[in-house]
Structure 1
Amino acid sequence: MKRNSIYTKVLSLISLSVAFWFVSCDKELNLQPISEISADEFYNNAEDINLAVVGIYNGMYDVLDKEWILTELRSDNTYMSPRNSETANVPFRQVDRFVLTSQNIHVEDYWRACYRVISLANNVINQIDVVEDPELAGRYEGEARFFRAHMYFNLVRLWGGVFLVDRPISGAEAKTMDRSTTEEVYDFLLEDLEFAAENLPGTADGSELGRLTRWAAKTELGKALLTRGGTENINRAVTELSDVVHNSPFAYLDDYAGVFDISNEYNSEILYAVRYQTGSVGLGAPFANYFAPMQSDDFVVRGNGDELNVPSTSLSQTYEAGDERKAASMADTWIGYNGIVNESKHIIKYNSDFATVDDAGNDWPVIRFTDAMLLLAEAINEVNGPTSEAIDLLNKVHERAGLTAYDNSEVGSYFDFKLALEKERKLEFAFENQRWFDLVRTGRAITVMNTHFATEDQYNDPDRPQFNTNPIEEYQLLLPIPQYEIDLNPAIAQNIGY
């Protein structure tokens, strides 16, 4: 069991935050889950604010429960198992095949979860003046603003322009809001990340283990600048990411598998992860069961798997011989009764020993040090081409996987380096909700996904033509605004094509 960390604070807050969420689950727009509760009466001092901040961390559980559906399942890394019947788990298959509508439950649930976190953050920011210590106030506000920015960064990449809410609002006010532009959303979230980078502490140890540091904020800031694009933003990204890579106390581990070892969580490579704990305490992770093969009983993880997120054939084949990341991330088979080998690809990155279904203890990494390294290499390549520093950063990650370093002749041009980096990130961050965002950022999503649909068997089965999938179009890079938002305010513009 993990001790001396944010877990103890999360456990003490669960009943409080759940009560808040139940009060608010039917509010209009769901942009203000606790804004109609008397925050003035609750947030009276620094201890109250601290509990509220921990509530924001707790809000990430609902976010991650759906995020893999709209990112990983929507990428070429995975697909919805063809062994599920045509009528089973239809909303998952709609996302996988890009035939979802504005009424898809996963689109709605993820949208709501993000805005719950934003609302929790807004309540902290709105009441931060009750904290008398300026340094402590800056830290708490920095944590709140990081999470608000993180939610908006995901929202803007998935939906484009969304509703900017920077304070607690009433249901009546929410119904009159309009979507902000993509540029306005980026301006807003970058300001939040800059504040977080300036005010969060450099370390978080002991009882604070698991809380954010300025280095996590700087990495997110660098990624957001790189994603927004433009010479000035990319140059700024180089500055922020260089600071993380060269000056932070974080470092990549020698062993890739060790990064995800449940006995070594929050190691030097983890800048921020959502923490889970097994033991039927309400903090267990469901992903091992979501991703394990169906009818695998207890041979893969405790209880049957749902097989909702299956590694693609192309991903399995992309790993080179000797790439140690594959054995730590996925398997092509599993051994069942009487030693029978079952051909069934499945994710193992989040597997561990646990006694109750949907109660694994594996943390989910959100920001890793190797992410900062490869983002820095990408930013350098965008500005100056593949310099020796950029190639060195790529090779450090590549060699850590047990592979031979790239020769300069293999990655010496801008486009060769870009493709090598794309492949490296695909394998380095497999099943960590990074792949879809990478493809969108680099402008490669349509090309890669249409190849995926044209070559993977499950989308081209003549015996199951109902699962065949057409090439995607530009408009499908964005998700539809949830229908309930449009119903509440018909003046809101739906994304084109939906």
Structure 2
Amino acid sequence: MKRIHTYTYTGTLILTSLTLIFSLVSCDKELDLQPVSEISADEFYNNAEEINLAVMGIYNGMYDVLDREWILTELRSDNTYMSPRNSETANVPFRQVDRFVLTSQNIHVEDYWRACYRVISLANNVIAQIEVVDDPDLAGRYEGEARFLRAHMYFNLVRLWGGVFIVDRPVSGAEARTMDRSTTEEVYDFLLEDLEFAVEHLPGTVGGSDLGRLTRWAAKAELGKALLTRGSTEDINRAVSELSDVVHDSPFGYLDDYARVFDIDNEYNSEILYAVRYQTGSVGLGAPFANYFAPMQSDDFVVRGNGDELNVPATSLSQAYEAGDERKAVSMADTWIGYNDIVNESRHITKYNSDFATVDDAGNDWPVIRFTDAMLLLAEAINELSGPTTEAIALLNKVHQRAGLTAYDHQEVGSYFDFKLALEKERKLEFAFENQRWFDLVRTGRAMTVMNTHFAAEDQYNDPNRPQFNTDPIEEYQLLLPIPQYEIDLNPGIAQNIGY
């Protein structure tokens, strides 16, 4: 049975004045976020301390976002699929996403949209009342955090839906019902401005009880990725500048051992620019992903409690790892050992597994931005402008060799397209199950080609005994998700994405 976390949230885009205030509880260098109340923003935000609590509420909103994000990114990519062992009637909304047959009423589309706009609402309330913070540097930092997290939501929304609603302040329900979708270009302009503000006002380093809060380097990396994604020549030149700063001038760096990046005893290491923090111990801050992804009927042999097998590594992904690639054992497994040492053939994700006592309560952080992401994005941007330069190849090889593999020579990746394909594969394996793959395919214009190859090659989409799971090639309109139906019901003037 699936166990998707549920949260009390009755608002939509319209209810942007709803606010949850959260307190920051420091616990062994963890950024822990505990809900304390639901109070009107106008009544509560009176000073810097209360604004700080409200900023913590924005960070907390990322739990809701990540609880659904993998469904619309990893499950929708060629990295994973919905378990073929689930029956035809089980977890239907997941399979609709996986097979690109979803509608505007799909619950995961609706839930993720709501979660993103809830974070935007929380950020808007902080930004609207930031003047109660007397210290200008502190006010700039708090606003920078709010604007980064708002921009991160809009970056995800625009890549998944195209033009969406730009809500830049708390608005009334009546006003919200008159709003229309902005263009994709307008959304990018808006989120880039937020990220530029964050770069200017966030601190360079954090530590102690602040570990887990954003720095300007995370903002620079996100800014570089957003510029590269929008993709004009001017944007890519700017992306090179921002990403070069992160790679060459930041206090961050990549670890020599890939496994140490995800070691639960080494979280928020020098490779993590931003991660969503989780804490085990039945305190309401545990991560559910280990159970979501573990094999069904695996009892306690893989993780505590049975898995739901909702997000299964594709055959093609398992086969993409070369012999000796150390990333595979960290990220996934092809088998698991059960009773009487019986080996069970069942691919599953291992990247978020750890020891925990209660189902859906793992302590593994979820990485959002890593240093190697900035390295490979910089290599990609350089290749887009100048082809595979010595610097671009060196950046690719640094990540490739860290995995225990032999460096590419210039002949293998010496052309623009050869380098692009090598980089695409490197990112696929380096960031497997980190919600990056779908966005990478969209950014590089490769989504339709890769996904249609995936559907043609994977057995579960071509089983003559289960024709109901067969999947047709996708069309270009399906690269975007449908606007949730409830938004259109509230405002029939809203344009639905073409094809839905």
TM exceeding 0.5: yes
1:34 partnered with 2:10: no
Does structure 2 retain, via aligned residues, the 8 Å contact 1:380–1:386? yes
Once the two structures are superposed, residues 271-311 of structure 1 have per-residue CA deviations (whole angstroms, 9 ceiling, x without a partner) of 00000000000000000000000000000000000000000
Letter in 2 for 1:427: L
CA distance in 2, matches of 1:123, 1:37: 12
Q: 1:184 — aligned with what?
A: 186
Q: Does structure 1 retain, via aligned residues, the 8 Å contact 2:18–2:40?
A: no
Q: Which amino acid aligns with 2:18?
A: P
Task: Map 1:206-225 onto structure 2 (within 5 A).
Answer: 206-225=208-227
Secondary structure class of the residue paired with 1:29: coil
Q: Is the 8 A contact 2:13 2:114 kept in 1?
A: no
The aligned residue for residue 398 of structure 1 is 400
- Helix, strand or coil for the counterpart of 1:333? strand
| Cα-to-partner distance string for 1:88-127 (whole Å, 9 max, x where unaligned) | 0000000000000000000000000000000000000000
Contact 1:27 1:33 in 2 (8 A): no
> RMSD over aligned Cα, in angstroms?
1.2
Cα drift, residue 207 of structure 1: 1.1
Give, in whole Å, the separation in 2 of the partners of 1:31 and 1:442.
Answer: 34
CA distance in 2: counterparts of 1:76 and 1:170, whole angstroms: 41
Tell me, yes or no, if the aligned pair for 1:107 and 1:479 is still in contact at 8 Å.
Answer: yes
Residue 25 of structure 1: how far off its partner (Å): 1.4
Aligned residue number for residue 7 of structure 1: none
Q: Output the CA distance in 2 between the equivalents of 1:183 and 1:143.
A: 23
Could you tell me the TM-score, scaled by structure 2's length?
A: 0.94
Q: Which has the higher helix share?
A: 1
C-alpha distance in 1 between matches for 2:353 and 2:364: 7
Of 71, 74, 99, 2:73 maps to 71
Q: Which amino acid aligns with 2:393?
A: I
Rounded Cα–Cα distance in structure 2 between residues aligned with 1:29 and 1:297: 43
SS at match of 2:223: helix
Please tell me the residue identity of whatever aligns with 2:284. Answer: G
Partner of 2:173: 171
On the 8 A contact 2:124/2:170 being kept in 1, the answer is: yes
Alignment gaps of 5+ in structure 2: 1-5, 21-37
Query: Is the contact between residue 32 and residue 115 of structure 1 (CA under 8 Å) also seen in structure 2?
Result: no
Alpha-carbon contact 1:269-1:369 (below 8 Å) kept: yes
Residues in 1 aligned to 2:212 and 2:14: alpha-carbon distance in whole angstroms: 31
* TM-score w.r.t. length of structure 1: 0.95
Counterpart residue number, 1:381: 383
Q: Partner amino acid for 1:396?
A: K
- Percentage of pairs with the same residue: 88
Q: Is the 8 A contact 1:378 1:418 kept in 2?
A: yes
Please list, as runs of the form range in 1=range in 2, the aligned pairs for 1:398-417 lying within 5 A after superposition: 398-417=400-419
The residue that corresponds to 2:473 in the other structure is 471
Paired with 2:45 and 2:242, the residues of 1 have a C-alpha distance of 34
The answer to whether the Cα contact below 8 Å between 1:29 and 1:488 also exists between their aligned partners in 2 is: no
- In the TM superposition, what is the alpha-carbon distance from 1:26 to its structure 2 partner? 4.0
Does residue 1:151 correspond to 2:153, yes or no?
yes
1:471-490 counterparts in 2 under 5 A? 471-490=473-492
Partner of 1:228: 230
Question: What is the DSSP-based 3-state SS (H/G/I as helix, E as strand, rest coil) of the residue aligned with 2:179?
Answer: coil
* 1:242 alignment partner, SS class: helix
Q: Is the 8 A contact 2:99 2:471 kept in 1?
A: yes
SS in structure 1 at match of 2:14: helix
Conserved? CA contact 2:13–2:117, under 8 Å: no
Deviations 1:338-379 (A, max 9, x none): 000000000000000000000000000000000000000000
**1:114 aligned onto 2:116:** yes
> Residue 356 of structure 2 is aligned with which of 354, 357, 375?
354
The CA deviation at 1:41 is 1.7
> Does residue 263 of structure 2 align to residue 274 of structure 1?
no
Question: How far apart in 2 are the matches of 1:459 and 1:62?
Answer: 30
CA–CA distance in 2 between the matches of 1:399 and 1:151? 33
* Amino acid of the structure 2 residue aligned with 1:29: I
- Name the CA distance, whole Å, in 2 between partners of 1:125 and 1:211: 17
- Runs of 4+ deviating beyond 4 Å: none
- 1:317 corresponds to: 319
**Aligned-partner Cα distance in 2 for 1:58–1:332:** 34
Deviation string 1:21-77 (CA, Å, 9 cap, x unpaired) is 85x614563444339963222100000000000000000000000000000000000
CA distance in 2, matches of 1:410, 1:314: 22
1:251 and 1:269 in contact (8 A); partners too: yes
SS at match of 1:129: helix
Return the letter of the residue paired with 2:485. Q
One-letter amino acid of the counterpart of residue 175, structure 2: E
- Paired with 1:466 and 1:84, the residues of 2 have a C-alpha distance of 13
What corresponds to 1:48 in structure 2? Answer: 50
Picking from 426, 451, 454, the partner of 1:449 is: 451
Partner residue in 2 for 1:283: 285
Q: One-letter code of the match for 1:128?
A: I
The aligned counterpart of 2:341 is: 339
Aligned to 1:89: 91
Residue type at the aligned position of 1:112:
R
- Asked if the contact 2:15/2:172 (under 8 Å) is kept, the reply is no
Do the aligned partners of residues 331 and 232 (structure 1) sit closer, same or farther apart at CA in structure 2, a change above 3 Å counting?
same
**Residue 426 of structure 1: aligned partner:** 428
1:410 match: secondary structure = coil
Structure 2 residue identity aligned to 1:152: Y
Given that 1:32 and 1:116 are in contact with CA atoms closer than 8 Å, whether structure 2 keeps it comes out as no
Question: Equivalent residue for 2:126?
Answer: 124
Q: Is the 8 A contact 1:162 1:182 kept in 2?
A: yes
> 1:289·1:306 contact (CA, 8 Å) conserved in 2?
yes
User: Residue 136 of structure 1 is aligned with which of 116, 135, 138?
Assistant: 138
Question: Is this contact kept in 2: 1:292–1:306, CA < 8 A?
Answer: yes
Q: Is the 8 A contact 2:288 2:361 kept in 1?
A: yes
**Equivalences for residues 242-257 of structure 1 within 5 A:** 242-257=244-259
Distance of 1:182 and 1:28 partners within structure 2: 18
CA distance in 1, matches of 2:122, 2:268: 25
- Paired residue for 1:371, among 373, 379, 384? 373
